[in-house]
Amino acid sequence: MSVRFFYVDESHDKDKFCISAIAIRHSHWHDCFKQVRAHRERLKEDYGIFLRKEIHAYKFLGGRGRIAPNTITKWQRSRIYNGLLELVASLPHVMIFNVCLDKADHSDPHMVAWDRLINRIERTLLEMERMELPKRKQVLGRARQKMAPDDVEFFERCILDYKARAFIISDQGRELEIERALRKMHVFNPIPSRFGAWNTGSKTKSITVDHIVEDPVFKKSERSYFIQLADCVVHALLKRETPPTSRVLKYGIDKMFDNNLQGVCYKRASQSDPLGIVRQ
């Protein structure tokens, strides 16, 4: 069983709605947490930033909130923020999923963005299984020729028991609607064909969400370092996608997403975007 935790947060302005998810494999979670914790401890040593104080990107970059005993300048905050994005990119085997929608194109961009994210997670894990299982069967076939029957039976159970699964952890907001939408997608999830119609002739096909387990867990971002990092990621995405203000230009915030995160963006989430950002 391979489980990935998806830490999700959203950011938006009058024109764009963005949502980002940081995906961490269960086997690497403790290493990731230790790395994030160590980074926060260094921020405390260098700047006095309280370990339990939430770093909310918008407020942090704007100079709001008492996050340390002493004043931290906006320039310093921008460098700290850039360092947090570098931290995300350095986490072992991390993947980032991103959605950015034009609000004018959707009556409810918030829920549409969640729909797009959930479907991309589902399709990604399904593809992982399709790619992984044939390789495992090949290994098993070679092993059968050299192993004792009892060992083969044990090895077969281990190597073929591969199921990619996802568990979603998100900042709070519209919890009931998101939960209901995901439950519905477990049963009925109509997906339009990219080519106008599926091989059945129908324009849509129900591809149920089978790889996301349980309802999403919603937590206050102040209680999760990983959700705070997801907030940093999605804020950088929003600033990439919107006309920069003078402050954003001054500190280079509009360039931070590409400079730090393009290497860990899951590009196969959207073939029409070089960073895999879902836009439709």
160 confidence band (pLDDT: 50, 70, 90): low
pLDDT digits (tens, 9 = 90+) for 96-136: 999 999 999 999 999 999 999 999 999 999 998 887 666 66
pLDDT of residue 112: 97
Is 276 among the domain residues?
Answer: no
* Band (206; pLDDT cuts 50, 70, 90): confident
As for how many domains the chain has, the answer is: 1
**DSSP secondary structure string for all residues of the chain:** -EEEEEEEEEEE-SSEEEEEEEEEEGGGHHHHHHHHHHHHHHHHHHH---TTS---HHHHHTT-S--SSS---HHHHHHHHHHHHHHHHHSTT-EEEEEEEEGGG-S-HHHHHHHHHHHHHHHHHHHHHHHHHHHHHHHHHHHHTTS-HHHHHHHHHHHH---EEEEEEEESSSHHHHHHHHHHHHH--EEE-TTSS-TTS-SEEE----SB-SPPEEE-GGG-HHHHHHHHHHHHHHHHHSPPPHHHHHHTHHHHHHHHHTTTB-GGG-TTSTT--B--
Residue 275 is assigned to a structural domain of this protein: no
pLDDT grade, residue 200 (50/70/90)? confident
Range(s) of the domain holding residue 238: 2-269
- Is 56 inside a domain boundary? yes
**Residue 194 confidence (pLDDT) above 90:** no
Domain assignment present for residue 137? The answer is yes
Classify residue 145: in a domain, yes or no: yes
Residue 112, domain member (yes or no):
yes
Q: pTM here? A: 0.91
278 in a structural domain: no
Is 26 within the bounds of a domain?
Answer: yes
